[in-house]
């Protein structure tokens, strides 16, 4: 479906595939590797058709070894290639954290910048489709804590394509965290290659008297909450950080200076999550503008339950966001 010149409405997953295809066409040093990314087209289908077009030297399946996959990415990047490696589920980064934290993140620094590490890691995070505790986690705060890594979390089809392209063009390790439940979400996406700059947040909805910062799949939940709150007279501004590391503090601080109240929402466990860091930065840089304590919405401190009924209660949603905003507004008087 065309909506404008060069722009169509396509699913999030199709935007991911198109980005990969254009990157592989653009640069012969780009290759794609991971479990089932070639013959099967990945477990989630976003690499489908790439093997046929580019062949087994550019798109290939690896053994079931996340440690080996990351080692392949680090070594080939240090030797001048631009690997895109796929870690099927974000939960599996536990298998290769030593290589991520002690090699991938630090090699460029320890070699005085002489070794570039243009490796992109694509992975799927998030709960809500009954995959239980070992296949449903959101572990982005682990990665954001490690100097040397960049971390992006696309919340729209447009950003899925643009952030992935920017990640592969970057000379540093970048994790691109997709969300399983967003793969079918439609959005306007240009046909040509484009980049969404790393480190720049987006104001998804302008508002005047409350700020919600929502990461990943929590963005549409926050937008729904903002619509509900508008009926009660609250004009909510919603910010999509897009890049979690480096984080665009300036955009969020400027919003809070205008609205004077804030809530941070993420799907990850609330305790120790990225929301705590964002709240800390806001109180350091915008404390005098705040009319109420900064709120946080995240998942309970528990493994993700398999039970559909319990999982529904576990994952934050628009209703929980709305209730927390109302609590903060009521406390502020």
Verify whether residue 135 is a known catalytic residue: yes
Q: Which residues contact 11 (CB under 8 A, 6 or more apart)?
A: 157, 183, 184, 185, 186, 187
Within the chain, strands assigned E span 2-4, 7-11, 30-34, 59-61, 82-87, 120-125, 150-152, 174-179, 186-190, 202-205, 210-214, 236-240, 243-245, 262-269, 295-299
Strand 2-4, strand 7-11: pairing = antiparallel
Distance CA 88, CA 284 (A): 37
Distance, CA of 157 to CA of 18 (rounded, Å): 11
Q: Which residues of 144-155 are buried (b: 16+ CB within 10 A; e: fewer)?
A: bebebbbbbbbb
The phi and psi torsions of 239 (rounded to 5 degrees) equal: -115, 130
Q: What would you report as the CA-atom Rg of the chain, rounded to the nearest whole angstrom?
A: 20
Number of helices (H) and strands (E), helices first, in the chain? 12, 15
Token look-up 């970048």 returns 174
Q: Please state, as a whole number, how many other Cβ atoms lie within 10 Å of the Cβ of residue 109.
A: 12
Q: Could you tell me what percentage of the chain is helix, strand and coil, using 3-state DSSP and rounding each to the nearest 5?
A: 40, 20, 40
Q: Are 318 and 221 in contact (CB under 8 A)?
A: yes
Can you tell me the distance from the alpha carbon of 309 to that of 323, in angstroms, rounded to the nearest whole number?
A: 20
d(CA 66, CA 87): 7
Please give the positions annotated as active site.
Answer: 135
């Amino acid at each position: 479906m065309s909506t404008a010149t060069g722009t169509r409405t396509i699913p999030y997953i199709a935007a991911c595939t198109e980005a990969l295809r254009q990157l592989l066409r653009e640069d012969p040093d780009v290759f794609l590797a991971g479990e089932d990314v070639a013959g099967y087209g990945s477990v989630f289908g976003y690499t489908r058709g790439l093997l046929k077009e580019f062949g087994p030297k550019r798109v290939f399946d690896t053994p079931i070894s996340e440690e080996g996959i990351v080692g392949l990415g680090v070594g080939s990047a240090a030797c001048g290639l631009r690997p895109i490696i796929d870690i099927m589920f974000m939960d599996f980064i536990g298998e290769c954290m030593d290589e991520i934290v002690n090699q991938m993140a630090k090699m460029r620094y320890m070699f005085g910048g002489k070794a570039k590490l243009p490796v992109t890691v694509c992975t799927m995070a998030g709960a809500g489709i009954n995959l239980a505790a070992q296949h449903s986690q959101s572990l982005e705060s682990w990665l954001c804590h490690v100097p040397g890594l960049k971390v992006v979390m696309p919340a729209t089809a447009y950003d899925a394509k643009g952030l992935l392209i920017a990640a592969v063009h970057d000379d540093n390790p970048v994790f691109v965290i997709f969300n399983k439940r967003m793969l079918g979400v439609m959005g306007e996406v240009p046909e040509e290659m484009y980049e969404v700059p790393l480190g720049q947040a987006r104001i998804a909805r302008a508002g005047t008297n409350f700020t919600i910062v929502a990461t990943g799949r929590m963005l549409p939940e926050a937008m729904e909450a903002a619509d509900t709150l508008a009926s009660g007279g609250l004009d909510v501004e919603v910010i999509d950080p897009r890049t979690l590391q480096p984080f665009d503090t300036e955009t969020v601080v400027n919003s809070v200076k205008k609205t004077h109240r804030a809530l941070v929402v993420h799907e990850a466990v609330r305790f120790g999550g990225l929301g705590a860091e964002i709240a800390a930065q806001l109180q350091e840089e915008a404390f005098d503008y705040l009319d109420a304590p900064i709120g946080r919405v995240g998942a309970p401190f528990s493994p993700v339950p398999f039970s559909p009924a319990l999982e529904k209660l576990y994952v934050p949603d628009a209703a929980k966001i709305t209730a927390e905003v109302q609590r903060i507004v009521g406390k502020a008087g």
